[in-house]
Amino acid sequence: MRGFIVLGTDTDAGKTAFSLAFLTAFADRFDYWKPVETGAPDSGRIKALVPQATVHASLMHFEEAVAPLLAARNAGQILPSLQQLRDALPKTTKPLLIETFGGPFSSYDENHLQFEVLRHLDLPRFLITSSAVGAIGRTIQTKIALDSQNSPLAAVVLVGPADPFAEEQIRKYCPELLVLNLQMPSDEWTAESLQQAVAAQKAKLAKLLELNERTNDSSDPRLIERDRQVIWHPYTSLADPQEPLAVESVDAEFIHLPDGRRLIDGISSWWTILHGHRHPPLMQALREAEAKWDHVLFAGATHEPAVQFAELLLQSLNWESGRVFYSDNGSTAVEVALKLAYQAWCHRGEPQRQLFIGFENSYHGDTFGAMSIGRDPTFFGRFEPLLFRTIQIPVSSESLDAALTTHSKEVAGVLIEPLVQGAGGMQMHSPQELKAIFEVTRRHGVYFIADEVMTGGGRTGTLWAHEQAGIRPDLICAAKTLAGGILSLAATIVDQSIVALFQTPDRTKTFFHGHSFTAHPLACSIACKNWSLLLKGNWKKQAGFIESYWRQNLVSLAKAKAVKEFRIQGTIAAVEFDTPGGYLAEVGRKLRQICLEEGVLLRPLGNVLYALPPYCTSEDSLARITHCLFRCQQSLANA
């Protein structure tokens, strides 16, 4: 989709006047559409005064000249949803000039302001305002408000008598915007008077045309070719015939591609995006933070965002004491936990406790300690000679008890992904089994480490997955969702019993570990806002809706042909197909391609196809993901 959106600072700002002028100049290059109208339709005025323009019928029109929401209420109707708006977009080869009603913060429907709906159209926005007294304040206030909501402007057009001072001041405080003044006919508006007025100002309007073309055509058609020359993608063969997706922008649950396609991000971009892409409160937190921060070392220094976020993490766990050690990603959070657990035993006088126990189908990261615990032969077999000794057992309290009985004085800790083993195929176990495993570690007196890198943040239905078992780990690893997916941040949360072992003036007992970007202020600032939102609990309704949708609409997959097992935990739904090959199974490529054809991005784990969407995901998008899962099942069943 190409074109731009015409916004006004308020009603009668001059939106239709601008549309008339622009179409008078460029009717051969743009079509006009006003989706929702009340009273005398502006579409009719455009047709009358610019007869050469293509004017598409509005999606909804009310005779009563009041706010659309009120008009809809009075008429007993419901305004079109975002999906209905998208579906109704005129099918045209030309770009669209889309005119809005009122102001961007006018009520759209019962639950949204107008800008919230328009933001998802992902088109440049031109702000129109009257050049009358107050133009400077109106414009800057609207710009600041829209910036705070991830809805930046591309241009400002003052409609009315020339006001060079207003133009100067708006340019001064909005230097990134194109700012111009458009003067309309002073006498009666006719097709002829419009043509005369526009002829004298066509050079100004051409600047908007050029800006729109640059904005709409910003992607490089050679991006994939350039990528192939310089980039080494994760978990991807350099000889992979499948080209990477060229992504132009993201928003909510959507990934936008240069060719106009819009994909539903069904896996939250590797489980990182929590509320949705560019979630407005988190992006606003980033903008506020960047006004005073970049980065500052964290060895021997501190700052408010890091301290506040650590307090929020401990509060979310109901821990009265403990410490937070920051790092950069899930792998490093695990490395920190392993090192702390071993060093704690050294401080307790038992340095022989060098053994860690992990579980089959686990994955904890790609650094050497994390690989040693995971031990997956496909991922890490090549590095086996370099890995240290660990034990892998089935997810079973009996197996753990047997292993700890055999190696009672050797084990430093047990590491588990609570409730869901992510990259190992979305394997799931019950809270009861998790609690039984925890109780075995208590009986044997070894450290219990919860890898909540993927599960933390509510994915499993509770803020922390281990909550469902009613247990308190000694160490917790968190990362992917801490900053809502906007910036990388990780944390290892340490129980006071371990902290106490390091509270000594003996400097040889210092924990010597750190990273250059530890506790990055921007990431911590976003994380503070993210965790404040999570602690309020509104996410539970969204996550609960997703889980309920899966259970209502996917349950028949459990007994479907070609399906080995179907699993749900919170917002996560996984289908394990009855096909050979494991992670490297060729069926994974086939499933991914089927999903892309349906406009959904899923990344199969071999023969396991799963969905883990952001909390903002609409029912329409959930329905499309569901359709994908069934289409994949049918494709394999018919093979």
Express each pLDDT in 471-522 by its tens digit. Answer: 999 999 999 999 999 999 999 999 999 999 999 999 999 999 999 999 999 9
* Residue 80 is assigned to a structural domain of this protein: yes
- Are 497 and 354 members of one domain? yes
Same domain, 318 and 463: yes
Residue 283 lies in a domain: no
**Is there a contact between 562 and 633 (Cβ–Cβ < 8 Å)?**
yes
Confidence bin at 563 (pLDDT 50/70/90): very high
Q: What is the mean pLDDT of residues 524-547?
A: 97
Name the least confident of 86-100, 349-363, 393-407, 611-625.
Answer: 86-100
Q: Encode pLDDT of 227-279 as tens digits.
A: 999 999 998 889 887 889 999 889 899 998 887 788 999 999 999 999 999 99
CB contact at 8 A, 43 and 163: no
Q: Give the three-state DSSP class for 526.
A: helix
If one compares 317 and 92, the residue with the highest pLDDT of the two is 317
For helices 619-637 and 539-553, the axis angle rounded to 10 degrees is 30
CB 31 within 8 A of CB 43: no
Assess whether 132 and 147 both reside in one domain. Answer: yes
pLDDT of residue 583 exceeding 70: yes
For residue 403, pLDDT beyond 80 = yes
State mean pLDDT over 166-191: 92
CATH of residue 493's domain is: 3.40.640.10
Percent over 70 (pLDDT), the chain: 99
Residue 216 has what pLDDT? 66
Average pLDDT of the residues in 131-140: 94
Catalytic residue among 108, 342, 363, 447: 363
For residue 335, what is the enclosing H or E element?
helix 330-347
Tokens encoding 113? 């302001």
Residue 217, pLDDT score: 62
Which pLDDT does position 83 carry in this prediction?
A: 78
Closest by alpha carbon to 550, among 487, 506, 613?
613
323 and 343 housed in the same domain: yes
What is the pLDDT averaged over residues 565-573? 98
Q: Which residue numbers belong to the known binding site?
A: 270, 330-331, 363, 451, 480, 514-516, 603
Q: Provide the pLDDT for residue 379.
A: 87
Q: Which of 536, 566, 598 is the last residue of a domain?
A: 536
Q: Last residue of a domain, which of 216, 235, 264?
A: 216
For residues 208 and 212, give the distance between their C-alpha atoms in angstroms, rounded to a whole number.
6
> Quick one: pLDDT at residue 1?
63
Q: What is the pLDDT of residues 593-609, one digit of tens each?
A: 999 999 999 999 999 99
* pLDDT at position 259: 79
Average the pLDDT over each of 13-17, 442-446, 521-525 and give the range with the smallest value.
Answer: 13-17
**What's the pLDDT at 258?**
83
The whole-angstrom separation of Cα 480 and Cα 82 is: 29
- Supply the pLDDT for residue 408: 86
Kindly report the CATH number assigned to the domain that includes residue 132.
3.40.50.300
Clarify whether residues 34 and 159 are in a common domain. Answer: yes
Rounded to the nearest angstrom, the gap between the alpha carbon of residue 434 and the centroid of all alpha carbons in its chain is 29
pLDDT per residue as tens digits for the range 186-225: 778 899 999 999 999 999 999 998 888 877 665 677 889 9
Let me know if 12 is a catalytic residue. no
Residue 108 annotated as catalytic = no
Q: What is the pLDDT of residue 515?
A: 94
Residues 527 and 546 in one domain: no
Asked whether residue 170 is domain-assigned, the answer is: yes
Token pair 């790609």: residue: 366
Establish if 288 belongs to a structural domain. no
Binding residues for pyridoxal 5'-phosphate: 330-331, 451, 515-516
Residue 480 is among the residues annotated as catalytic for this protein = yes
Are residues 529 and 545 part of one domain?
A: no
Neighbouring C-beta atoms of residue 59, cutoff 10 Å: 18
Q: How many domains does the chain have?
A: 3
Whether residue 290 is predicted with pLDDT greater than 80 in this model: the reply is: yes
Is 285 among the domain residues?
no
10 part of the active site: no
485 and 520 together in one domain: yes
Is the per-residue pLDDT at 96 higher than 70?
yes
**Which residue in this structure is represented by tokens 């405080």?**
173
Residue 570 binned pLDDT confidence (cut-offs 50, 70, 90):
very high
Would you give the end-to-end CA distance of the chain in angstroms? 36
- Give tens-digit pLDDT for 408-454: 899 999 999 999 999 999 999 999 999 999 999 999 999 999 999 99
Parent domain of 448: 293-536
Select which of 217, 235, 564, 578 is catalytic. Answer: 235
Calculate mean pLDDT across residues 539-565: 96
Using a CB cutoff of 8 Å and minimum separation of 24, what contacts does 543-547 make?
Answer: 543/458, 543/459, 543/461, 543/570, 543/571, 543/615, 544/461, 545/619, 546/570, 546/571, 546/613, 546/615, 546/617, 546/622, 547/461, 547/571
CATH code for the domain of 570? 3.90.1150.10
Residue 339 burial by Cβ neighbours in a 10 Å radius (0-12, 13-18, 19+): middle
528 assigned to some structural domain: yes
Give a yes or no: residue 586 inside a domain: yes
Q: Which of 155, 438, 420, 466 is nearest to 317 (CA)?
A: 466
Instruction: Annotate 42-105 with DSSP letters as a single string.
Output: HHHHHHHH-TTSEEEPPSEEESS-S-HHHHHHHHT--PPPHHHHHHTS---SS-EEEE-SS-TT
In a domain, 627, yes or no: yes
Residues 307 and 180 both lie in one domain? no
Question: Is the predicted pLDDT of residue 150 greater than 80, yes or no?
Answer: no
- The catalytically annotated residue of 15, 480, 529, 615 is 480
For residue 217, count other CB atoms closer than 10 A to its CB.
11
52 and 170 assigned to the same domain: yes
One domain for residues 269 and 364: no
Residue in 376, 451, 474, 495 annotated catalytic: 451
Q: Could you say which of 196, 216, 236 is where a domain stops?
A: 216
Which residues, in sequence order, are CB contacts of 414 under 8 Å at separation 6+?
A: 356, 357, 358, 400, 437, 441, 446, 447, 448, 449
Tell me the binding residues for substrate: 270, 363, 480, 514, 603
Task: Please tell me the pTM assigned to this model.
Answer: 0.84
What is d(CA 73, CA 109) in angstroms, rounded to the nearest whole number? 10
* Residues written for the chain: 639
Least-confidence region, from 247-251, 398-402, 571-575: 247-251
Give residue 378's pLDDT: 86
The per-residue pLDDT for 630 is 98
CA separation, residue 460 to residues 509, 528, 543, 605 (Å): 37, 21, 9, 19
3-state secondary structure of 278: coil
Q: Cα(43)–Cα(47) distance, rounded to whole angstroms?
A: 6
Do 486 and 345 reside in the same domain of the chain?
Answer: yes
